[in-house]
Amino acid sequence: MPLVLDRKGLGDARPGDLAVVRKGRGRARLERTIGSARDIESVLEALLVEEGARTAFEPHSPPAIETAGRSDLRDLVTFTIDPETAQDFDDAISVRREGDGLRAWVHIADVSYFVEAGSPLDLGAARRAFSTYVPGLVAPMLPPDLSDDLCSLRPQQDRLCVTVEIPFDEGLAPGEPLFYRSVIRSRARLTYGQAAGMLAGRDGGDPDVLEALRLAERVARELRTRRFARGALRIETGEVSFAFDGNGGVERAWREAEPDAHALVEEFMILANEAVAGLLAGRRREALYRVHERPDPQSIAHLVAKLVALEVPTPAVPEAEKLTSQAATRLAARLAESVTGYVSTAGRGREAFPSLVLRALKRARYDPRNLGHSGLASPAYCHFTSPIRRYPDLVCHRALLREVGAGDDPLPEDLPELAEQTSVRERSAAEVEYRADAICLAWLLESQLFELGWEAVFPGEIIGVIDSGIFVRFGEVFEGYVPARRLAGDYFEVDTLATALVGRRSGRRYRLGDPLDVRIESIDRPAGKVELSPVRVGSR
């Protein structure tokens, strides 16, 4: 519904601009102009505002930096590894040889030093709960003077941290961890690409950093091997990245494969998170644990039936009524392994089949009780390594520091309510991020069609089926919807396993993982939705 704006205060706002307005009695007042609706970055900023992710920060006055009483680790060779576009660096790593083994340090920004428990900023951060990331933009949980500066582990600058120190013996088995407040000085800010190039021998860089990076890779590979051996799920889902053209459009999009450098960082963060959660859980302390409960046996049995129907090789399984919760957990890990291996070799169901596995599992969430993490096969797990962008991590910092006698900040009194609220906010932020990606892809697809023509045909793969139609991934990164009414020649309905649309008379099937060539019918850029029509029929 159009609003009538007072002429006074319009400033340089023009027709076609996106704007923030406040409604009054029959009229509206312009609060600020975001930018042209033809500019993708303005559209993404408007999405953050519309969804309430972009909020004003509470008044705050950061304390002066004091290093007294902290372990001085500034002489360690320390580095960060982050995406190229990252501005907030939560974590840094140090590794060095020690006797026949190694010693590793995971340094995490000491956000609790700068954010007083119970302060207006702390309460506001709890409400926001997460930073929300969309292509090229972020709505941070903490104000930029903290998130991008004082708390960010920038290279060549002294920074306050909470450090987890872990020795490794000659077989790279981890020993007893130590926890303490520290001051560090990062030697290098590496991107994933730079770190991968150094490990592959393409880029030299600082010899000391290269040596530490290679040691870190050795440790990470061993940690990863042990994690999968104990039953952790192996599910690979690449994220879509974007580049803008500088003129308000999207230049290109591509699906990121997980580089070795990303896996390296992931293993060290999992290690630190498990160490912190293990200490707190071992002493029966409340915090905000990251829990992932065991899957329901019936859900896993149903998953097996779906994979069999889709002709995906599966391990032998017991009958559903004999499948205990513990056995279902082990079976889920084996199924994930089978699916990962199958899609990498068969080239079929690359997105559809891993998604089936994920949907059969329970959703990870936050809880003040330690209930374990089934997906990681961890008896205790928490989020500790990203306190700049996740409030549960800040809660775990305060709980840890109280436990080791390095802090006395109280924990929130309403931890159960906070656990529920942060779990809900996490899902909300993920939905905004998904919508932003969809809008960028719709923007890019429309520009490509101006060059290719709307009659262009794209090879695709069916990645979802519902009563009213099918979802198709095409052009590597794009996704669209084919309404059932466009599937000519029959009346189609979902089969009992929800793995295919089946023609009532012909028996023709459109199955998950099947190839399907499509043509674009329409694009709704603001909603990020694409409607398709099939160019050829599905499989039999």
Q: Tell me, rounded to whole angstroms, the distance of Cα 232 from its chain centroid.
A: 18
Q: Half-sphere exposure (CA, 13 Å, Cβ side) for 503?
A: 15
Given pLDDT bands bounded at 50, 70 and 90, which one contains residue 18? Answer: confident
Q: Does residue 418 sit in helix, strand or coil? A: helix
Q: Percentage of the chain surpassing pLDDT 90?
A: 80
The residue with greater pLDDT, 378 or 202, is 378
Residue 497 DSSP one-character state = T
What is the mean pLDDT of the segment spanning 358-384? 96
What is the mean pLDDT of the segment spanning 499-518? 94
Given pLDDT bands bounded at 50, 70 and 90, which one contains residue 43? Answer: very high
The predicted pLDDT at position 26 comes to 62
Given pLDDT bands bounded at 50, 70 and 90, which one contains residue 538? Answer: very low
State how far the Cα of 349 lies from the Cα of 271, in Å rounded to an integer. 32
Given pLDDT bands bounded at 50, 70 and 90, which one contains residue 435? Answer: very high
pLDDT digits (tens, 9 = 90+) for 146-193: 999 999 999 999 999 999 999 999 999 999 999 999 999 999 999 998
State how far the Cα of 342 lies from the Cα of 360, in Å rounded to an integer. 18
Alpha-helix residue ranges (DSSP H) falling in 310-414: 325-346, 352-359, 391-403
State how far the Cα of 436 lies from the Cα of 441, in Å rounded to an integer. 9
The predicted pLDDT at position 203 comes to 79
Alpha-helix residue ranges (DSSP H) falling in 51-170: 111-114, 120-128, 144
The answer to whether 109 and 220 have CB atoms below 8 angstroms apart is: no
The answer to whether 74 and 184 have CB atoms below 8 angstroms apart is: yes
The predicted pLDDT at position 19 comes to 79
Q: What is the mean pLDDT of the chain?
A: 92
Closest CA to 117 of 60, 183, 180, 187: 60
The residue with greater pLDDT, 409 or 323, is 409
**CATH numbers and ranges of domains, the chain:** 71-228+259-292+364-439 (no CATH), 297-359 (no CATH), 454-534 (2.40.50.140)
pLDDT of 369 strictly over 50: yes
Closest CA to 528 of 428, 446, 427: 446
Given pLDDT bands bounded at 50, 70 and 90, which one contains residue 29? Answer: confident
The predicted pLDDT at position 189 comes to 96
pLDDT digits (tens, 9 = 90+) for 248-302: 999 999 987 666 788 999 999 999 999 999 999 999 999 999 999 999 999 999 9
The predicted pLDDT at position 537 comes to 47
Own/partner contacts of 192-196, CB < 8 Å, gap of 24 or more, are 192/81, 192/82, 192/83, 192/84, 192/259, 192/261, 192/262, 193/84, 193/259, 193/261, 195/81, 195/259, 195/261, 195/264, 196/259, 196/260, 196/261
Which residue type does 318 have? P
The predicted pLDDT at position 34 comes to 86
| CA trace torsion 518, 523, 525, 529 (10° rounding) | -60
Q: Which two tokens stand for residue 65?
A: 């930096």
Given pLDDT bands bounded at 50, 70 and 90, which one contains residue 109? Answer: very high
Task: Tell me the sheet residues that pair with 252.
Answer: 243
Q: Does residue 453 sit in helix, strand or coil? A: coil
The predicted pLDDT at position 359 comes to 93
What is the mean pLDDT of the segment spanning 84-89? 87
